[in-house]
Copies of this chain bind each other. A is one copy, B any other.
Amino acid sequence: MPATLRDVADRANVSVRTVSNVVSGYEHVSEKMRSRVLAAIAELDYRPNPVARTLRTGRTGMLGLIVPEIDVPYFSELARDVINAAAEVGYRVMIDQTGHDHERERQLLTGEDRTMLFDGILFSPLVTRDELREMNAATSMPLVLLGEHEFDGHYDHVAIDNVRAARDATAHLLSRGRTRIAAIGAQPDESYATPQQRTAGYEMALSEAGIEPDPALLHPAAHYSRADGYAAARDLLAASIPPDAIFCYSDLLAMGAMRAVFDSGLRVPEDVAIIGIDDIEEGRYSRPTLSTVSLDTPFIAREAVARVAARIEDPDAPAEEIVAPHTLLARESTLGSGS
């Protein structure tokens, strides 16, 4: 049986109030009392019960991090940084996977999942803007959106400028002399903000270079996985006039696409240059190394945690929008000399 506050109080001959004060680091406690209590705590190996504390205070000290799949490198690298950033401000993180299941996302966000015990949520959404708006009414949980860059004043957002990131990536391919540039990652459903913004940036860069975007070069991808990138690239390469470069909306898509290029008997970047977005570590060791748009994940994690923590303190604070920096990293998959 673990010792309780009451046990410590009895042992030290003080009231539970005083013990609680000492444990919680209350200012006004006499030195005598404090040391007496501290001794009792040590002797009994007392530890506060976080559950009882939560019941009383209404705070769990936990943040929920909701992602589609934790084994997607971008999300696991983000999770690492979020967990660390949260620990620094006294929060722990519970990861929930939605598995691309909209219904599951809804349950999580509306609190219909009865086991919700977070003080706040960091949510990397797959849902559409409309769905998000509906959920808004159902819950009052402090919520920060990650990577959903469509600021509507309802939620705090932390994301890169997707349009510019995509434009930068595409412009880089253009600067390497490529003209027939394909894109992988567009979503058939137009209400997803992120892919749409990336498509916009891609088309913007082409237009700026005086190139008319070719719809046949805009390839959808449902899951941003290696498999989807592979399948999409095979499709593109089988066309009568294949692309000489591919801009992938995620590094994972790019890893699959690179493999597809090789399996088609072509070379990267000589025949097809490839660039992604995310800067996962895998791309720094692949052959060739992957050019990409690097997101400052530690920055995103830190800001997101700070935002949600602030909102927990003041639920009525106006929603803020944080734009995270991004950097283009040119590696072998667009520069050559790799393979």
Contact = CB atoms under 8 A, between A and B. Distances in A.
Interface of A: 47-52, 54-55, 60-61, 69-71, 73, 76-77, 79-80, 83-84, 92-97, 111, 114-117, 226, 230, 255-256, 258-259, 262, 281-282, 284-287, 339
Given A95-B95, A226-B281, A262-B287, A80 B71 contact: yes
5 contacts: A48-B114, A49-B55, A69-B80, A73-B76, A287-B287
Contacts of A77: 71
A80 B55 contact: no
A185 B121 CA distance: 39
Q: Which of A51, A71, A281 has the most CB of B within 10 A?
A: A71
A226 B289 CA distance: 13
A287 B289 CA distance: 11
A133 to B, nearest CB: 20
Nearest to A23: B114
B92 A115 contact: yes
A230 B258 CA distance: 22
Contacts of A55: 49, 51-52, 55
Contacts of A73: 71, 73, 76
The 9 closest A-B pairs by CB, nearest first: A76-B76, A71-B80, A71-B76, A71-B77, A259-B285, A51-B54, A47-B114, A287-B287, A226-B285
A80 B51 contact: no
A245 to B, nearest CB: 19
A272 to B, nearest CB: 14
Q: Which of A69, A77, A116, A286 has the most CB of B within 10 A?
A: A286
Q: Which of A47, A55, A93, A285 has the most CB of B within 10 A?
A: A285
Contacts of A80: 69-71, 97
Given A70-B70, A83-B95, A83-B96, 12 more contacts: A47-B111, A49-B55, A50-B114, A51-B51, A71-B73, A73-B73, A73-B76, A83-B97, A226-B281, A230-B285, A262-B287, A287-B287
A305 to B, nearest CB: 15
